[in-house]
Structure 1
Amino acid sequence: MVKVLYIAGWGRSGTTIVDNILNSYESVFSTGELYYLWRRGLRQRRKCGCGDRFAACALWREILDVAYGKRQPDPKAVDELQQRISRVRHTPSLASGPLSDEAEEYRRLLTRLYHAIGEVTGARLIVDSSKVPSGAALLPRMRDVEPYLLHMVRDPRAVTHSWMRATPQLDRPEPQLMQQHRPADSTVHWLVWNAFAERLARSYPNRYRLLRYEDFAAAPREGIERLLEFTGVDVRNSPFLDDTTVLLEPNHTVSGNPSRFRTGEVALRPDERWRADQPIGPRIAVTALALPMLHRYGYKVSVAA
């Protein structure tokens, strides 16, 4: 049996730092955004969190060998399969009811991968921060997998502000900027992805947790330890130096925010730059679009800085 914690939610919600902290516990291994293994890791040959090109990372070569042996899946074929069956709108059908032949093929492929990760790393808990709701939908349907779901939410105005900033990608052969999202696009994604993630709670009876970025940032050590206790993982030998300072270990994450490459001592503070820097126009637009779910997640409607 392999234990997997899947982190779901729209991007820029604090998932990468939570992922990196969890990975720094001895009994935890983080894959980063495993969803992008085939496209970014194997097809685009981006960097592993360890700094090596993904194909050159000895750990991932061993994992793939244990998972698939000499019959390695074709990355292009898996990427295209993934695009056909794991779109966000397919989340409900992947969570319940009969699976199509292609969805069943994809489920078997991922099941073998999770088991190989557990076997090679020896981790008591695997963390997959892919965020995509459709990936979380399939996890409870995998054989000999004990699934947990962490649903991370952040104020949509802060999320939009982060998506609008120019952020360099550090894992590509040639320097590029990460994709940016305009306020309406980011907020619609925020609404849809969070709605689907919340709906998946019924597929994770007693194994679903909602964590707001703001609550985590206010008390990071407490939030992480509660999460590990929830998954049944020992919190001793903590990487925390105090309640808000952590020693981040190197990782082997497949993909994620560029901050996944950060290691060493890190002081954790809430990122509230959006309150002072975000123009009033985008702030009003996001507030209006997200209004139905602002109160649900405990965010104030006021757009004042």
Structure 2
Amino acid sequence: MKKKVVFILGIGRSGSTLLNYILGSHPDCFDLNEISKLPQFYRHRHRHRDFWEETGKFWEEKFTPEELKMLVAGLSNRRITPYIPLKVERFLREISGTDRIFNSYSLIFSKLDATVLIDSSKYVDWVSKKLQSKEFRSGQIDGYLIHLIRDGRAVLNSYLRWDKNMTVEKFSHRWSRLMKEDENLFNQFPSERKMMVRYEELASEPKATTEKICQMLDLEFQPEMLEYWKHEHFGIEGNFGTRSLIAKYKSQKSDSKVEEVHGDYYQKQGFQIKLDLRWKNELDPEKIEEFYRLTQGENKQYEWD
């Protein structure tokens, strides 16, 4: 089977970690989660000691120190050689056949048995730049795009709960800009390799929604995918709440931020995929009104009632 990379596109707090884990639980898939953060974790190891003491061990065992350094450099979107612009170096390395460092997903595939990688880094700039690499342009790897959307009111509520410095005004401008960027990229993408997925449908009808995605990817749906907490995941970062079910299943302590931000919500949830509609009880009507005014009602098409 031809290698595939599935890019999950969307705004944070829209269910990308959940979708990443579900797809990554398929035997032919490997979920990278937010692989875009690996360079940051690598450069600032002292700040991310927990990662390198746990999940990071997988990456250090799979890659030699030199390979890991190469992977980080290729993922970073920064200059590889000082004083040479990145675009110039990409061009020169490509024509000289020394561009392996820029084909990060091929390097990852070489270390795994998977035929499909799931990248939930989410943002347009990341996806666009990665698709420009030779491994995609040459047809060596096929890129797929899933635009994950969620009712903006739920996303707003999640941001306000998580970030005490967030305001409705700040969120609204950011939400409107990112939604436009996502839509533009999605509309330009080949129709046979893209799909729009609603978080609300994924969470309320996980089997039917996952079956549709598997069909697009030419994968046989496996019911065990929906019990993502029973599977091993070595991707980078991801939503703390969604990850907490994995820790709970393994009888491990969840990140302290989970209880601090969500109280006992995830503890009471049990082992299941559950539609999160907390915004209906937590979000003030005045804030919803301000959000709609600032975004000129753009959320109407994404409402889930």
Shorter-chain TM range is 0.7 to 0.9
Q: Alignment length, in residue pairs?
A: 264
Asked if the contact 2:71/2:104 (under 8 Å) is kept, the reply is no
* Counterpart in the other structure of 2:83: none
- The answer for unaligned runs of 5 or more in structure 2 is 81-85, 250-269
Post-superposition CA distance 1:83-126 (Å, at most 9, x none):
xxxxxxxxxxxxxxxx9336769995775321122222211210
2:2 is the counterpart of 1:16: no
State the one-letter code of the partner of 1:260: R
Distance in 1 (CA, whole Å) between partners of 2:210 and 2:92 is 34
* 2:159 aligns with one of 145, 157, 163: 163
* Counterpart in the other structure of 2:254: none
Measure how far apart 1:247 and its partner are: 4.7
Distance in 1 (CA, whole Å) between partners of 2:101 and 2:275 is 35
Measure how far apart 1:79 and its partner are: 7.0
**Tell me, what secondary structure is at the counterpart of 1:130?**
strand
Asked if the contact 1:218/1:270 (under 8 Å) is kept, the reply is yes
Measure how far apart 1:182 and its partner are: 2.1
Measure how far apart 1:234 and its partner are: 1.9
* 1:207 aligns with one of 193, 196, 214: 193
**Tell me, what secondary structure is at the counterpart of 2:288?**
helix
Gap change, CA 1:110 and 1:4, over 3 Å in 2 = farther
TM-score by length of 2: 0.74
Distance in 2 (CA, whole Å) between partners of 1:186 and 1:70 is 36
State the one-letter code of the partner of 2:144: Y
**Tell me, what secondary structure is at the counterpart of 1:126?**
strand
* Counterpart in the other structure of 1:169: none
Measure how far apart 1:181 and its partner are: 2.8
Distance in 2 (CA, whole Å) between partners of 1:211 and 1:132 is 16
* Counterpart in the other structure of 2:59: 60
Identity %: 21
Gap change, CA 1:117 and 1:266, over 3 Å in 2 = farther
Distance in 1 (CA, whole Å) between partners of 2:18 and 2:274 is 11
TM-score by length of 1: 0.74
2:92 is the counterpart of 1:101: no
Distance in 2 (CA, whole Å) between partners of 1:295 and 1:158 is 13
Structure in which a larger fraction of residues adopt strand: 1
Post-superposition CA distance 1:171-225 (Å, at most 9, x none):
xxxxxxx685322222222222222122112133421111111121220111112
Asked if the contact 2:8/2:147 (under 8 Å) is kept, the reply is yes
2:272 is the counterpart of 1:286: no
Asked if the contact 1:7/1:150 (under 8 Å) is kept, the reply is yes
* 2:144 aligns with one of 134, 143, 148: 148
Distance in 2 (CA, whole Å) between partners of 1:253 and 1:179 is 27
Structure index of larger Rg: 2
* Counterpart in the other structure of 2:215: 229
Gap change, CA 1:214 and 1:164, over 3 Å in 2 = same
Distance in 2 (CA, whole Å) between partners of 1:105 and 1:267 is 50
* 1:193 aligns with one of 178, 203, 213: 178
- The answer for unaligned runs of 5 or more in structure 1 is 83-98, 167-177
Measure how far apart 1:46 and its partner are: 5.1
Distance in 2 (CA, whole Å) between partners of 1:288 and 1:47 is 42
Measure how far apart 1:282 and its partner are: 1.6
Distance in 2 (CA, whole Å) between partners of 1:8 and 1:182 is 24
Gap change, CA 1:235 and 1:249, over 3 Å in 2 = same
**Tell me, what secondary structure is at the counterpart of 2:295?**
helix
Gap change, CA 1:146 and 1:62, over 3 Å in 2 = farther
Superposition pairs for residues 264-279 of structure 1, below 5 Å? 264=249, 266-279=271-284
Gap change, CA 1:104 and 1:256, over 3 Å in 2 = farther
